[in-house]
Structures are given as C-alpha cells and as structure tokens.
Structure 1
Amino acid sequence: MFDAATFATHVDAVDNAVTNQEKGNSLEGLSSYLFNSIDGIEVRETNINGPAEEVDLLLWNAKISQVFEPWDNLISVECKNWSNPAGAHLIDNFAAKIRLKHLTTGIFIAANGVTGDFVNGDNQNRGAVYRLHEHLTRDGIRIVVIRMDDLRGLVDINDFIELVKDRYCKIYMHRVF
C-alpha cells in the first residue's frame, strides 16, 4: 500500500545519497517501494548477479492492473542513479538482458534521464533515445524510461501507474518523455 510519507522518505534518500552504493541502493529502494505498491506487481528478486548480467529488480506481473496486462509476466528493471543522463551503451546492455531472457518489456529508471534528442531532430547526437527506437523497431523490445523528476511529482500510486502508461504509449510515437 502506498503511503505518501514513506514515499517522501525514499525520495529524500535518493536525493541525499552520496556514495555510489548509497545512490544505487536508494534508487532501487524507491523503485521497489513503488512497484510493490501496485496491485498485481511484486518485486521478486533484487540485485541478481548472473554469469553474464546483473538485474537490479525482477518484477512478477500477475496482470491484474490494466496497464500491465499486455506486458510479460516477468519485468526487468534497471536503476541508474547517476549525475548525468544514461548513454546509449546502457540502453543497449539493458535491451540485451531483456532479449537474452526472451522478454519484450523493461523499465529503465535513470535519475537524470537518457542521452540523445532523436524526437527533436538532433541527428548529431542520437544517443540512448535513438537506441530505444532501434530496439523497438528491430526487436520489438519496449523500454520505458522514468526520471527522478517524474517521480518527485507523484502524489499517489495512481500517478505512478499513469506515468508508466504514458511512457509505454509514447514508445510507439518515438518519444521518451
């Protein structure tokens, strides 16, 4: 169940994290809290270190929520609490993890978004935004991107669900935000 005070504590932890470990743990904690607050979504595993990859969060999707009904039963979540936008290579790595597990959808939570500006015609720096489009059109892999600025404005869990739905729909319009 979503509690505004608990949510605010998680946001503060992300905003006040200093070390790389604190940054990573705090964003994963916030993400876990949000996903566990959605009916039918459950964080099953965290920080899975496989032989070829690491998964920050693995969600079980019981497909109760209408927004998550078309998604896979398993959803990978990648969390990057970096001071700069995440680059194309990180999107490629995440897409490879999704593809390796024969999944089609993932959530990429990047504190400061991702690089590139494909939507606005910046062909000089396609970056991660362009790669998101490439993975969708080439492999059918849908990656939803969420930033900390998006999360700071949430009032309740329905706001988060609407955010995910909005981003999922925008993938098909080649828009990340």
Structure 2
Amino acid sequence: MNRVDAVETVNEKGRALEDLICFLFPQIPGIEIAQRNALNAFLTEEVDVALWNAHHNRGLYFLPHLLLLEAKNWSTPCGSQEVAYFVQRLHHRGCDHGILLAKGGITGNAQDLTQAHFEIATALGNGIRVLVLTPAEILGLTNTDELVDILKQKLCHLVVSGTTIP
C-alpha cells in the first residue's frame, strides 16, 4: 500500500495500483489473474486486470467467471468520462460486471446521481454493474473474507438502491 502512495509518475501510479490488485485478489479463493494490461484486437482499448473467477464457495461465487478491473491511482476522484469509458469497455467485451479501484473515489453525489454516479446508474439500467472500491477501504481489511463481504454489500446496494455508496 505504501508503494501506491510513494510513486511519482502517472505510469508508476497506475502500475502500483495494478500490482496491489494482482497481489490482493488472487488471495481470494478461486481467483487468479487471467491477463494484465491487455489490448483488444483493434488496439483501441486496454484492460488493466482481468480476473478468472472459479466460483469458490468462500470466494466471489456471486460474480461472473470473468471480471475486468480498472485501476485509477489519482489523488482526485475519477470523473464521469473515465467511468463511462470503463462501462463502454465492459459493454464492448460482453461483460456485465466490473470493478473500478479508484484511489480518490468517483465524482458527484451518490444520492443525487450526479457526475460519475450517474454513469454507474445508467450502466445499471443497461445491465452493467460497476463496483467502486478504494484503497482506503482495502486498508481496513484483515483478511480476504472481508473483501468478499465488501464486494457483496456493494453489489447488493448497487442493485437495490441504484447507487454506489450507502
């Protein structure tokens, strides 16, 4: 986690957060890194991290087999353009779930569905669910069961209330 904060260049920042993802998520039973920094066939869209989910009963059994993760190691919140672009990449690949790990969270107000929250609500209406996770949330965890629980809670809240944050 210290490395996520310590690096200076944009590329190093992104790489550090991706490294955190690639360390943390495979600790969850049934999860492995499928691909990293993979471009589509047209060389127009990159996926930061793709996870294979074997649906282990103590893991992410409630999420699809293939999960795409986007890492934004920015000091400011991730904006609506970036969220919309992540949703577009999910759609182009036929994925209905994605995880956005954003150091600064996302812009707007969850209750009012403004800015980036609007993009997530719109995606939900189109069958795409984006779970937003921050490194600060990860810091408080003591084991991967807690990460699984957070993702379950976020998914339930998103679907039931239509917003990303309770």
User: What TM-score do the two structures reach when normalised by structure 2?
Assistant: 0.92
Work out whether residues 29 and 58 of structure 2, in 8 Å CA contact, stay in contact via their aligned partners in 1.
no
Aligned residues: 162
2:135 partner amino acid: M
Q: Which residue of 2 aligns with 1:4?
A: none
Q: Which residue of 2 aligns with 1:155?
A: 142
Work out whether residues 31 and 59 of structure 2, in 8 Å CA contact, stay in contact via their aligned partners in 1.
no
Asked if residue 93 in structure 1 is aligned to residue 85 in structure 2, the reply is yes
Work out whether residues 76 and 104 of structure 2, in 8 Å CA contact, stay in contact via their aligned partners in 1.
yes
Q: 1:66 to 1:102 in 2, by over 3 A?
A: farther
SS at match of 1:99: helix
Partners of 2:164 and 2:2 in 1: how far apart? Answer: 25
Flag as ranges the 4+ runs of structure 1 deviating above 3 A. none
Pick aligned residue for 1:127 from 99, 111, 115: 115
Q: How does 1:16-31 map to 2 (within 5 A)?
A: 16-31=6-21
User: What TM-score do the two structures reach when normalised by structure 1?
Assistant: 0.86
Deviation at 1:71, TM superposition (A): 2.2
CA RMSD across the alignment: 1.4
- Identical aligned residues as a percent: 30
SS at match of 1:83: coil
Residue deviations 1:22-62 (CA, integer Å, cap 9, x gap): 21111001111111101111111111122220000001011
Partners of 1:87 and 1:68 in 2: how far apart? Answer: 27
Could you list the runs of 5+ residues in structure 1 that have no partner in the other structure? Answer: 1-10
Partners of 1:65 and 1:79 in 2: how far apart? Answer: 26
Deviation at 1:166, TM superposition (A): 1.4
Work out whether residues 67 and 165 of structure 1, in 8 Å CA contact, stay in contact via their aligned partners in 2.
no
Partners of 1:101 and 1:163 in 2: how far apart? Answer: 25
Q: 1:62 to 1:118 in 2, by over 3 A?
A: same
Could you list the runs of 5+ residues in structure 2 that have no partner in the other structure? Answer: none
